[in-house]
Structure 1
Amino acid sequence: MRQYKQLLLANKAWAAEIIEESADFFQRQLVGQNPEFLWIGCSDSRVGPEQMTMTPPGNMFIHRNIANLVKDDDTNLMSVLQYAVDVLGVRHIIICGHYACGGIRATLDGGTTGPVDDWLSTARCVLHDHADEIDAQPDREQKVNRLVEVNVRDQLVRLARTKTIQGRSRVGKKCCSTAGSTTSATG
């Protein structure tokens, strides 16, 4: 069976199971969302936020990009952040990186071109800022994983400097708590 057909069948089975467990589930979802969390994570297909956290629908607003970068010129992320903070009133923002990240590995290895190369410029700045610490790691895997960790920390700093977060601080409103984490991409 073609994989896309399997996805469609799995979706139908999931919907039927949900309705069997809770007949009004989809009606409740139409009322709106009230998530407590904004998750900014990597696009890696091995790192599914809802699956990793066992979060039910409606509890997490999600933005994903290669290497979980916070770039103030990324209109997509900035609109997600603004909507999450100003409209949804999220209470917590999580930036989650993961070990063995392909974007971080590409940052270390170089050789990227086109949009991916442009995108990774922010990660290359993190690498440059922490070069001594990264270079001190004993092997390539540990270099990648340490860059994953310092990248999460630096993205939290970048997040704190965004207009949305700064604007909430200026008007005296507590925005939300922020946290960084790293996880294994394979378990």
Structure 2
Amino acid sequence: MKQLLLALGLACVLLLPACSAETRVSTIRERAEKGDARAEALMGEMYATGAGVKKDYAQAIRWYRQSAAKDYAQAQYNLGVLYERGEGVPKSDAQAAVWYERAAAHGLAAAEYNMGVFCERGRGVRRDAAAASKWYQRAARQGQADAQYNLGALYAQRNNPAEAYFWFGLAAKYGDADAARMRDRAGARLPSGEAAAIERRVRIWRPAIVTG
């Protein structure tokens, strides 16, 4: 099974004219102080990573919470990452799951994937294979390769080589050698005609576009 995604996600892209780093920080801060959720999330990210400002987890948490309270998915996801890492807050899988689920409800693929891992492992939530499959499906349909791999693994465990072949095949398109190996293992259990039909599905497959 592929592991959790624990990188802080880019909060947003604010289109600013060419300017110095100091001016950029000042402009983003001004927007954040006016209640712009995207700017608040970006302020949180800047403080969490030390980009343009001195790293300060207390400030990062403050800005993320303000943005998350406005239902901004990336801020909710990043709060989940900090709770899972125990950075600036007490380490808590339960709290991480709360924030991942809120972000996942908006269709954020990274959060959907992490919820799948939490449900599969029983981290912060009750272990639930059906829920894990649901979250992996949602992330996988957006092109999240690790979710595609884990979904393939679930189908392989359920003795469904056709669906395993499909999802491992999609993950392998991103250059994942493990996915290619597992795809070939699943394919060896299929009649050649069925494998060829699935390969056509893989070739024409396109990720879904989700708007939160």
Same fold (TM over 0.5): no
**Based on CA coordinates, which of the two structures has the bigger radius of gyration?**
2
* TM-score (ref. length: structure 2): 0.29
Hey, which of these two has a bigger chunk of helix by percent? 2
TM-score of the two chains, using structure 1 as the length reference: 0.32
Structure ranking higher on relative contact order (CA contacts 8 Å, 6+ apart): 1
Structure with the bigger percentage of strand: 1
